[in-house]
Every structure is written in C-alpha cells, then in structure tokens.
C-alpha cells in the first residue's frame, strides 16, 4: 500500500492584514485638511451640498465648517452662523 504525502491544509481563518492606502491631502486645503472629514451629522461634502442647496453663502458655510471642527452640533453651528452674519437664507429649512 502506497502512502501519498499531502501538504497540510492552510486555513483561511488567519488572513494577512489588508494594506491601506495613505490618505491623500487636498492641495491648498485649509489647515492641511484631508479629502474627507466626518462629523457627527455626516461627511463634510454632503453637509456642504445641503447647505448650498438651502441658500447659505460661502462665507456662512465656512463659518459653519469652523464650528463643526470645534465640535459643535450642526444645528447649533447653523444658528450661530445666522446670528453672527445677521442673515438666514430664504429657502433655509431645519437640517437633520
């Protein structure tokens, strides 16, 4: 009776870690910001689009962005931007 030698079976249970790609920085971005910023209310790109469609000015949007970076909730940041500038867009609706 001939015995055949078989290689030991390798389990897929322990896989090698996935190599992560380094984050690409936005060229000319403020404060060395990365391409994606995540806040409690969502990603900055989607928040910015919602603000633009509701009629907020670029200056107000940047003010809101600064408040979000400091840890403010979005609703408070929007209210503060309206109070500081004295302007609120006509199409503005509560964000949430």
50-81 b/e (C-beta count within 10 Å ≥ 16 → b)? ebeebebeeebbebbbebbeeebebeebbeeb
Across the chain, mean pLDDT equals: 77
Determine if the pTM surpasses 0.75. no
pLDDT, tens only, 10-29: 665 655 555 544 443 343 45
Domain boundaries, the chain: 38-85
């Amino acid at each position: 009776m001939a015995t055949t030698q078989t290689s030991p079976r390798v389990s897929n249970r322990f896989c090698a870690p996935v190599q992560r790609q380094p984050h690409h920085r936005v060229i000319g971005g403020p404060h060395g910001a990365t391409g994606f910023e995540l806040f409690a209310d969502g990603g900055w790109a989607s928040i910015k689009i919602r603000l633009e469609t509701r009629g907020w000015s670029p200056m107000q949007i940047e003010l809101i962005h600064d408040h979000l970076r400091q840890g403010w909730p979005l609703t408070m940041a929007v209210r503060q931007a309206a109070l500081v500038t004295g302007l609120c867009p006509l199409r503005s609706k509560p964000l949430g």
